[in-house]
Structure formats: structure tokens, C-alpha cells
Structure 1
Amino acid sequence: MSLRFPAHPPLQILLVEDNQDDAFLTQEAFRSLEPVPQFMVCTDGVEAMEYLHGRVEGAQPLPDIILMDLNMPRMDGFGLLEHVKHDPSLRAVPVLVFSTSNSRSDIRRSYQNYANSYICKPRLFSEYETVVEAVRSFWMQTASLPT
């Protein structure tokens, strides 16, 4: 089922995910939206910071949303979240933690570091679509994005 909301420009999403399968499933689930969001994928926090500071080829203006995993090599999601939320040029960008962890301490720590939401990754593709619908409903229709 394709959802059509042509009044909105495509959402610019920075997906920070080291698992190729999870990155693929996430992007596939978002393809049900109209217009289809544009993704930039980084595989860890270091690469994401390079992208956000415009130090990689093809870097765009700041994304509308950062959708990130917690468990990644080099710089994990907590390090990235702390860096983004303490950098005045980045802190307004909403960060949605998208993790397999449902640990209360991970959730608490994410919000203590100013995550805008914490979403547990679904196990089935149909559940990904439900998550995407919730993200679309809130971030594309209800919330006003700063970028």
C-alpha cells in the first residue's frame, strides 16, 4: 500500500547502521511512503560525523532526521548521540534511536543524551512497515522539523 502525501518534500534521512541487512530492510520499508525519503547510509558514528560536518564526498545539507543504531564499530550510537546533541550546529536535528536492544538502561541512557525517540527494531518486515507508518505519521505529518 503506497501512502501519498505530495504536499511534503521527501524526508532526508541519515541512517547510521552497520548491519547491511537491517539497513536494507529499513530503506525497503520506507519505500512505501510517497514521496520516498532520500537516505544517506553511514556504517558507524565516525562516518556519520564526517558526513554531518560535510567532510565526505556527496555530503548534503543536514538531514531532517537521523535514524541510528546503538551497537556499531569505532563510535557507537551513544557516542554519536552525545556528539550530535552537544554540537550547536547539529543539536536541533531529531535523532531516533533504532536498536534491537530493549534494555531499560539503553533506553534511559539514550533519553538522558537527548534522543528524540527510542524505537526497538522489529523482527518481521511487516512490523517494519508499522514502525515506518508511525515515523511518517509523527515526523512528516504532526511534527514541524527544524531543517
Structure 2
Amino acid sequence: MTRTAELHRLLVVEDSEADVELLREALSDSAPAVALDVVRHGEDALAFLRREGTFSSAERPDLVVLDLNLPRMGGFEVLTALREDVDPRLRRLPVVVFTTSQTSTDVERAYDLHASSFVTKPTAFESYLDVVRAFREFWLRVATLPASSG
């Protein structure tokens, strides 16, 4: 069932404050409504999703927006860990790779690791807003997502 009236949660795994603010701007007029949780490192993303440590009360997101270029643990490592997790809710969790990379090897590797989609961040402000709104529309209004509760 497609969910349209409820609040959707996005986990944004992004170390750039400027990119986080651009995402907030693009989603501010959001319909459906979106709540953002932000972590800066891959290790924190996994702890958040697994509800470990300081993230023990974290709400599971409906969608992960994952940058590839992260300090310490990169996006590919996060994606690998999610797809190999014992928890089926994490293995099924949609992950949008949202990165500056345009290389075919990164695209292929992301899909080999079962990314749900690969989106290159536009550099122009209006294009950036359009792209974020387009994947919000698809992933949160059109697509049927797996249950995230629990």
C-alpha cells in the first residue's frame, strides 16, 4: 500500500552540512511530510539503524539517503553492511545513493551492492531542488515501501 498521509522518516548519511541544508530546503515544502534524521559517518548510520548506543531510541526510517564519500566508513561499506545484516528490515530498507560521483564504476558498484537507486547531486541549486523533489515524490508517494516498524 502506498503511504501518502503519514509522516515519512529519512535517514540522511552525509558529512557535508551544506548538502544537509540543501536537502532540508528541497524537502521543506514536502508533501508527503518528511522528518530528517542526520548522521555524519557510516558507523553512526549503522548504529542508528541497528538502534545501538546513543541511538537506542531512534525511529526506523522509511528511506536512507546515502553519500558515498564519508569519513572513516564510506558509503559502499555502509551499503554492504546493510545488505548483509541479519535483520531483514535493514536488508530491505530502500537506499538512495546521493553523491557527487558520476563514474560508471561507482554506479555499477552501488547497484551490485543492491542500492535502490543512484542519483548524482546536481551542482546548480534549482536542479538540486528538482532532483531531491523527484526522488522524494517517487520513493515516498509512488513506490510501495517495506514496513519499517519494529
Q: CA deviation at 1:35?
A: 4.1
Give the TM-score of the pair, scaled to structure 1: 0.90
Paired AA for residue 41 in structure 1: V
Q: Which one scores higher on RCO, CA 8 angstroms, separation ≥ 6?
A: 2
Structure 1 residues 7 and 94: alpha-carbon distance in aligned structure 2, compared to 1, 3 A threshold? closer
Q: Is the 8 A contact 1:52 1:59 kept in 2?
A: no
Paired AA for residue 29 in structure 1: A
Equivalent position to 1:76, from 69, 74, 77: 74
Structure 1 residues 33 and 58: alpha-carbon distance in aligned structure 2, compared to 1, 3 A threshold? farther
Paired AA for residue 111 in structure 1: Y
Q: Is the 8 A contact 1:9 1:35 kept in 2?
A: yes
Give the TM-score of the pair, scaled to structure 2: 0.88
Cα deviation, 1:92-134, whole Å, max 9, x if unaligned, reads 1100000000010000000000000000011122112211221
Aligned to 1:118: 118
Deviates more, 1:129-138 or 1:99-108: 129-138
Distance 1:59 1:73 in 2: 25
Aligned to 2:139: 139
Q: CA deviation at 1:70?
A: 0.2
Paired AA for residue 25 in structure 1: L
Paired AA for residue 87 in structure 1: D
1:31-42 aligned at under 5 Å gives the runs: 31-42=28-39
Aligned to 1:109: 109
Distance 1:96 1:84 in 2: 13
Distance 2:16 2:119 in 1: 16
Residue aligned with 1:34, SS: coil
Q: CA deviation at 1:58?
A: 6.6
Distance 2:18 2:5 in 1: 28
Residue aligned with 1:97, SS: strand
Query: Matched residue pairs, number?
Result: 142
1:1-147 aligned at under 5 Å gives the runs: 7-55=4-52, 56-57=54-55, 59-89=57-87, 90-147=90-147
Distance 1:65 1:7 in 2: 14
Relative to its length, the structure with more helix (as a share) is 2
| Structure 1: unaligned runs, 5 residues or longer | 1-5
State the Cα RMSD in Å. 1.6
Poorly superposed stretches of 4+, deviation over 4 Å:
none
Paired AA for residue 59 in structure 2: P
Aligned to 1:3: none
